[in-house]
Amino acid sequence: MKVIIVGAGVLGTMHAWQAVERGHEVVHLEREAEARGASVRNFGLVWVSGRAAGEELEVALRARELWEQIGARVPGLWFRANGSLTLARTEAELAVAEAAVELPDAAARGYRLLSPEEVRAVNPALRGSFLGGLHCTRDGAVESRVAQPALRAALEATGRYAFLPGREVREVVGASAVRDDHGQLHQGDLVILCTGAWLGGLVRELVPDLPVRRVRLQMMQTDPLGETLTTSVADGDSFRYYPAFAGPELDALRAVQPQPPVAAEHKMQLLMVQRKDGGLTIGDTHEYDQPFGFDVVEDPYEHVAAVSEELLGRPLPKIRRRWAGVYAQCVDTTRVVHRQQVADGAWLVTGPGGRGMTCSPAIAEATADAAGL
């Protein structure tokens, strides 16, 4: 088959990977010179630990397995099974971590509850103040800024993949063709639209009532730390934002320990991961009400910097970059993704939210199965 894929973010690129792996030919269209949206403006985390029990966790675990397989074949992804530590700084946060290791699926997530001394044995860079840590050995990471180019290079080496940047698709023609803004018709046997946070234009025409919203975040990156951060790191506020931790202990945490005002206002948690150059990517915020601001706000950066320094027990290196990004999220946040057949031979796949980097390989696999690839 000849498969036309629209959108070269991580979701579109993983759909291309699935199609080529199954023996098909792919023409891949991207309106920018290369992906510039949420697929490159993220942590690169393959985050199993906080996923909701059931389908979401199953998708994340399958995706984690696929990331490791693909990473072994594409070293440029810099996949590493580094795990994560969610650090508890108060008794209420520690109670949530203690409850997590008793969950029926704790073993599947790779949960272990560690004392401060055990945390430092796993990750010696964490020399700050905390009462313990929830270790999730199933979490991993990739290098998000180079993942798509690395995957495309591997796809191009097969001889069955063509990447066409600078092509904005304007129309789905017939059952399985698209026309771009150059007026060129791309005819295939199947069209897969992975348009990310681009929810207007063609997407609105195809699905006027699409149950997907846009979410804005802010993040930053430091100069090299000068030592190895052996795991990804989260703070206790992340318990509030991941469904795996829902329960009486989390309710008690919310009751006795309100977030600091800046964290509550910007719906914040701390996530921190080390890049290949030694720098740290740190964030993040969540903004749901549109229209979004066009600028970045300094208070959230100051907050996550202060929490990072408390956990590391040292000043952060100089901040090198700050940025904002926007991703698409299903309005029903219990859904992993919105997948819809919009024509006989055309599918729209969007709205994974903050799960996009984690779950994209398994989402693409499920689309390929559903579409009969």
Phi, psi of 202 (to 5 degrees): -60, -40
pLDDT tens digit string along 174-212? Answer: 999 999 999 999 999 999 999 999 999 999 999 999 999
Beta strands in the chain (DSSP E): 2-6, 25-30, 45-46, 84-88, 111-114, 132-136, 140-141, 161-165, 169-173, 177-180, 185-187, 190-193, 212-222, 232-235, 271-274, 280-283, 319-330, 338-343, 346-350
DSSP 37-76: STTTSS--EE--TTPPTTHHHHHHHHHHHHHHHHHHH-GG
Residue 244: which pLDDT band, with cuts at 50, 70 and 90? very high
pLDDT of residue 346: 97
pLDDT of res. 303:
97
- Mean pLDDT across the stretch 270-295? 95
Q: In this predicted structure, what is the pLDDT of residue 46?
A: 97
At residue 129, the pLDDT reads: 94
Q: What is the pLDDT of residue 327?
A: 96
Q: What is the pLDDT of residue 367?
A: 98
**Average pLDDT score over residue span 50-58:** 96
Q: pTM for this structure?
A: 0.96
The reported pLDDT for the residue numbered 100 is 98
Residue 192 burial by Cβ neighbours in a 10 Å radius (0-12, 13-18, 19+) = buried
Query: What percent of the chain shows pLDDT beyond 90?
Result: 98
- Dihedral pair phi/psi, residue 35, rounded to 5°: -60, 135
pLDDT confidence of residue 33: 92
CA 205/CA 113 separation, integer angstroms:
49
Give the integer Cα–Cα distance in Å for 43 and 279: 12
Quote the mean pLDDT of the chain: 96
Q: Which pLDDT score is estimated for 13? A: 97
pLDDT given for residue 133 in this prediction: 98
Average pLDDT estimate for 64-92: 97
pLDDT classification of 236: cutoffs 50, 70, 90: very high
Ranges of each domain in the chain = 1-78+141-211+335-373
pLDDT band at 365 (very low <50, low <70, confident <90, very high): very high
What does the pLDDT read at residue 72?
97
Q: In this predicted structure, what is the pLDDT of residue 252?
A: 98
Give residue 190's identity as a one-letter amino acid code.
L
CA distance 107 to 29: 41
| pLDDT (tens digit per residue) in 110-154 | 999 999 999 999 999 999 999 999 999 999 999 999 999 999 999
CATH class, range 1-78+141-211+335-373: alpha beta
Q: What is the mean pLDDT of residues 315-319?
A: 98
